[in-house]
Amino acid sequence: MMALADLQIPGALVRLVVALAALAAFVGVNGMLLVYLERKVAGHIQRRPGPFEVGPHGILQAVADALKLVGKQLVTPNGADWLLFWGAPVVSFMPVFLLFLPIEFGPGLYGLDVNLGLLLILAFAGLNVVALCMAGWGSNNKWALLGAARAVAQSVAYEIPLLLAVLAIAAMAGTLHLGEIVAKQGSWPWQWNVALQPVAFFIYFVCSVAETNRAPFDLPEAESELTAGFHTEYPGMGFGLFFLAEYAEMIVVSAVGATLFLGGWKGPLVDGVWWFLFKIYAWLLVMMWIRWTYPRVRFDQILNLCWKWLIPLALLNLLATFVALAVV
Amino acid sequence: MTLDFLTADAAAKALFVLYFLAILVGGIMAVAAKSLVKAMLGLIKTLFGVSGMYLLMQAPFVALMQLLIYVGAVSVLIFFAIMLTRGEEEGRPAMGKKILAVLAAAAPAARVGGLLLRHAPMPAGTPVEISLQALGQLLLTDYVLAFEAISLVLFVAMAGAVVLGFERRLSK
Amino acid sequence: MVFTWLNIAILAALGLGVAFAGAPLAGSVLLAPRASGGDLRMPYECGMPPHGSPWIRFGINYYFYALLFLAFDVDVLYLFPVAVAYTEHAGWIELVKVCIFLAALGLGVLYFWKKGVFTWPKKIS
Q: Which of A56-65, A210-219, B52-61, C79-88 has the highest mean pLDDT?
A: B52-61
Residue A142 lies in a domain: yes
Rounded to the nearest 10 degrees, the angle between the axes of helix C5-31 and helix A82-93 is: 120
Q: Does C93 touch chain A (CB under 8 A)?
A: no
Residue A305 lies in a domain: yes
The total number of residues written for chain C in this structure: 125
> How many Å lie between the alpha carbon of B118 and the closest alpha carbon of chain A?
30
- For residues A219 and A298, what is the distance between their CA atoms, to the nearest angstrom? 8
Task: Give the mean pLDDT of A166-189.
Answer: 87
Query: Contact partners of B by the rule of 3+ C-beta pairs under 8 A?
Result: A, C
Q: How confident is the model at residue B1 (pLDDT cuts 50, 70, 90)?
A: very low
Q: What is the pLDDT of residue B20?
A: 92
Reported as a single tens digit per residue, the pLDDT across C6-59 is 888 888 889 999 998 888 888 888 887 887 777 777 777 777 777 777 777 776
> What predicted TM-score, i.e. pTM, was given to this entire model?
0.88
Q: How far is CA B38 from CA A88, A239, C53, in A?
A: 12, 21, 18
Test the B interface: residue of A101, A121, A133 with most B CBs within 10 Å? A133
Reported as a single tens digit per residue, the pLDDT across A30-80 is 988 888 888 888 888 888 888 888 888 888 888 888 888 888 888 888 777
Residue A48 lies in a domain: no
Contact between A134 and B37 under an 8 Å Cβ cutoff? The reply is yes
User: In three state form, how does the secondary structure of A77-133 look?
Assistant: CCCCCHHHHHHHHHHHHCCHHHHHCCCCCECCECCCCCCCHHHHHHHHHCHHHHHHH
Residue A60 lies in a domain: no
For residue B18, give the nearest of C3, A109, A180 by alpha carbon.
C3
Q: What is the pLDDT of residue A1?
A: 44
What is the interface size between A and B, counted as CB pairs within 8 Å? 87
Q: What ranges do the domains of chain B cover?
A: 7-89, 130-172
Q: Does B20 touch chain C (CB under 8 A)?
A: no
DSSP A71: T
Contact between A43 and A50 under an 8 Å Cβ cutoff? The reply is yes
Higher pLDDT residue, A284 or A149?
A284
Residue A277 lies in a domain: yes
Residue A31 lies in a domain: no
By percentage, how much of chain C surpasses pLDDT 90? 3
For residue A204, give the nearest of A274, A252, A246, A139 by alpha carbon.
A252
Residues of C whose CB is below 8 A from A74: 25, 28-29, 32
Q: What is the pLDDT of residue B3?
A: 53
Q: Which residue of A has its CA nearest to C22?
A: A90
Residue A120 lies in a domain: yes
Does A116 contact B60 at a Cβ distance shorter than 8 Å?
yes
Q: Is C2 helix (H, G, I), strand (E, B) or coil?
A: coil
> How many Å lie between the alpha carbon of C9 and the closest alpha carbon of chain B?
12
The values of phi and psi at residue A3, to 5°, are -75, 155
- For residues A264 and A261, what is the distance between their CA atoms, to the nearest angstrom? 8
Q: Does A87 touch chain B (CB under 8 A)?
A: yes
Contact between C2 and B58 under an 8 Å Cβ cutoff? The reply is yes
Residues of A whose CB is below 8 A from C2: none
CATH number of B7-89: 1.20.120.1200
Residues of A whose CB is below 8 A from C94: 326
* Cβ neighbours for A66, distance < 8 A, ≥ 6 positions apart: A32, A240, C24
Residue A12 lies in a domain: no
Contact between A190 and A269 under an 8 Å Cβ cutoff? The reply is no
Reported as a single tens digit per residue, the pLDDT across B93-108 is 677 888 888 888 889 9
Structural domain boundaries, residue A99: 73-327
As for how many domains chain A has, the answer is: 1
**Is pLDDT of A8 > 50?**
no
Average predicted confidence (pLDDT) for chain A: 84
**Is pLDDT of B40 > 70?**
yes
Nearest to C67 among B18, B158, B170 (CB): B158
Residues of B whose CB is below 8 A from A318: none
Task: Give the mean pLDDT of A188-204.
Answer: 88
